[in-house]
Amino acid sequence: MNPGTAAHRNRSRTPGSAVTLAGTLLVLALALWGTLALWYQAPSPWRWPLLLGWSLLAAGALAAPWQRGRRRRRLYVVACLALTGLLAWWWTIAPSHDREWADDVARLLEADVRGNMVTLRNVRNFDWRSDSDYAPRWETRRYELDRLVEADLILSYWMGPHVAHTLVSFGFDDGRKLVFSLEIRKERPESFSALGGFFRKFEAVIIAADESDIVRVRSNARGEDVYLYRLDLDPAALRTLFLGYLEEAEGIRRQPRFYNTLSSNCTTIVFDLARRLAPSLPIDYRLLLSGHFAEYAHDHGGLVPGYDYAELQARGRIGERARAHTGTPGDFPHAIRQGIPGADPGAR
């Protein structure tokens, strides 16, 4: 055999092999996506039969490149029809406000903004004795926007150092605090799943709550590691951020939407609202690894100036102070801010 001819044949087979490999990887990705979509969204009585059928179809599609002629074409046609059907079903899945919601997300925030005066209905102020033992309380509150004087970024770590829940607490000159948080609107008896958040498992909801509720339940009832940082915002920026949360809440109230672990979560909403103030803010990996979001805010001038991040982080850890607090709910914001740069009531 001519060596040159053999080498030429090997080279001519390389593109075909690369295409086959790329096709196999694509089929694997689609098979995995379909499996997870069915796992999280298929009705319970049909879940396992559908998963079994999908797995058999995926196996047939993976075997197709090694088949010949009519058999290969049939496998591809069946796989394409199955994928088309799955996608058609997927786009029928719509968010809803009509489900059996857990108590802490049962109500939607309603805002009435008239000039300087804001009236909020369904502000949460639960008394948490444990994560499952609480006294529910929903309130109507009124705030004057020109009395809005400060805001704090709060990160609550519940799954290691790289993942945190992001909240923003607004302070008024009379000492009142109001916290906004975008959360999953879980049904009874659902619990959070980061993977499920990619597959339309949860609706989104914006909760407005008292600090003695939404911060204390995380630090005390759930034992999460909570940090608080003073944001460096002027009055106009504070007002924009505050009203931005109300606009987002009203949008959700009018049209339900899905929570998404990557693109629509507790951290991305803060980033999206911050871009109203600074449109040039860059996309950063710390928007996905939310446990590092405070560092991102510090690097872009969003936290109180004059301190390096390590000091702000060390002094902003409020979990121990929160758990040691035995006073009234109204004293809770004062107690957790002791020693925090820019936020310590005593220092101010």
For the cut 60, the answer to whether the pLDDT of residue 6 exceeds it is no
Q: How far is residue 153 from each of residues 27, 55, 57, 162, 215, measured CA to CA in Å?
A: 43, 45, 48, 16, 12
266-279 confidence digits (pLDDT tens): 999 999 999 999 99
Average pLDDT over residues 169-187: 96
Query: Which pLDDT score, from 0 to 100, does residue 346 have?
Result: 64
Does pLDDT of 65 surpass 80? no
**Residue 153 binned pLDDT confidence (cut-offs 50, 70, 90):** very high
Q: What is the per-residue pLDDT across 203-220, written as a single tens digit (0 to 9) for each? A: 999 999 999 999 999 999
Share of the chain above pLDDT 90, in %: 78
Q: Average pLDDT of the chain?
A: 91
Mean pLDDT of 82-100: 95
Q: How many angstroms separate the CA atoms of 203 and 200, rounded?
A: 7
Helix (H, G, I), strand (E, B) or coil at 48: helix
Model pLDDT for residues 127-142, shown as the tens digit of each residue: 999 999 999 999 999 9
Domain segments of the chain: what residues? Answer: 3-90, 103-336
Reported in sequence order, the residue ranges of the chain that DSSP labels E, i.e. its strands, are: 110-114, 117-124, 127-128, 134-135, 138-144, 148-157, 164-172, 177-185, 203-209, 225-230
Torsion of CA 261, 267, 271, 272, to 10 degrees: 50
Q: Give the Cβ contact number of residue 142 at 10 Å.
A: 9
pTM across the whole model: 0.88
